[in-house]
Structure 1
Amino acid sequence: MAAASGAAGALPFRLGTKKVFLPSHSITFLAPRPNQSPTFATFKVPLTFNKFDIRDYLLHAYNTPVLAVRSQVRQRRDIMKHITGRKFRAPPIKTMTVQLTKPFVWPSMPTDTRPWLLAASTRATDEQTARRRMTMQIRKTGVMPLRDERKESLDRKNLRKEAERLLKEGGWTNRRELDPRFSEKGNVKKS
């Protein structure tokens, strides 16, 4: 929240004081409609969200001031259950369109997607062959190998190397001051 203090001081409205450290909601940034201006952004929000919540969320989480907010609740069509033949109403969807102070241009889709497709297909085939080998071994022996007996995957090897490097050299930081109560070096006050 300290990042938004610079922008928050210049705003002509009062900010909310509700602090949410572990949010129980999810907000989805939706792709713009074909003729939507780059100064507008649309979000899919929970039904309990109001205009002040989205304004405070964007200001404190992304340091993005908002000029105006419009909200819409769309009802979805009744869906027919094929098994029982009864209709039920799907929950509505709430979207909010905000007017931004600076335009945001949605990135265009890449024209050449071969690098992503190639990496995904090779990884998938490697995983499939490893699973097939393990299944054949289980069928022959009747015993499933333990995790320690299996061959270590490439992702796991890379993660292990990175963890060892960080333990030796250090160098990782999240750029936040640690509360002295949670520090190994800090003195803990006893009450």
Structure 2
Amino acid sequence: MSTRWYPIYQRGNPQLRVFLPNFWLKLIRSEHEQPPNVVQFACSMEMTKYDIKNYLQKIYNVPVVDVRTRIALGKTKRDQVMGYVTKYEDTKLAYVTLPKDVKFEFPNLFPEESKKQLEDDKKSLDEAKKNHKKYLEKNKHRPGTPGWFSI
């Protein structure tokens, strides 16, 4: 159920209507070791176990065996100067169990090719720094001379 307000439909003035539910799911990496068929989600506080199961089955066609939820309390922090306490929002965590034959592997967001590219970029940056130091050394005895004026 959505709590958002939509403009009133008028017969002569058709409007595009989009249903925007308040439910959302976010896949997160588990802090603790889990079996390969258990996936952890952060979800909307209003969602129930049945909502989560239906959401995954109907929208994403994911076979779900069981859903367990818990509410993780938000961290509290005391201001050092004023002394007041602030608290971050609570989050609901859902542990979704898939069938035994299905194994979920968290996607690799940083493959090896990007690591090689990063190393190449570091090498080129170091080379550019060395060239710049050479340039500065060459012109250090002539302060105030523009860079384009060299002998």
Number of corresponding residues: 101
1:35 corresponds to: 33
Deviation at residue 113 of structure 1 after TM alignment = 1.8
Question: Aligned AA for 2:104?
Answer: F
- Which structure 1 residue ranges, 5 or more long, are not aligned? 1-19, 119-191
**Distance (Å, rounded) in 2 between the aligned partners of 1:57 and 1:97:** 14
Distance change (3 Å), C-alpha of 1:82 and 1:71: same
* Identical positions, percent: 26
SS in structure 1 opposite 2:58? helix
Structure ranking higher on relative contact order (CA contacts 8 Å, 6+ apart): 2
Distance change (3 Å), C-alpha of 1:70 and 1:116: farther
Deviation at residue 27 of structure 1 after TM alignment = 1.4
For the Cα contact (< 8 Å) 1:27–1:43, is it kept in 2?
yes
TM-score (norm 1): 0.45
- Structural mapping, 1:75-154, within 5 Å: 75-82=73-80, 84-101=82-99, 102-108=102-108, 109-114=110-115
User: In the alignment, is residue 52 of structure 1 matched against residue 50 of structure 2?
Assistant: yes
Deviation at residue 82 of structure 1 after TM alignment = 4.7
TM-score (norm 2): 0.56
Question: Aligned AA for 2:77?
Answer: I
SS in structure 2 opposite 1:43? strand
Q: Please state which structure has a larger fraction of its residues in helix.
A: 1
Moved over 4 A (4+): 114-118
For the Cα contact (< 8 Å) 2:71–2:93, is it kept in 1?
yes
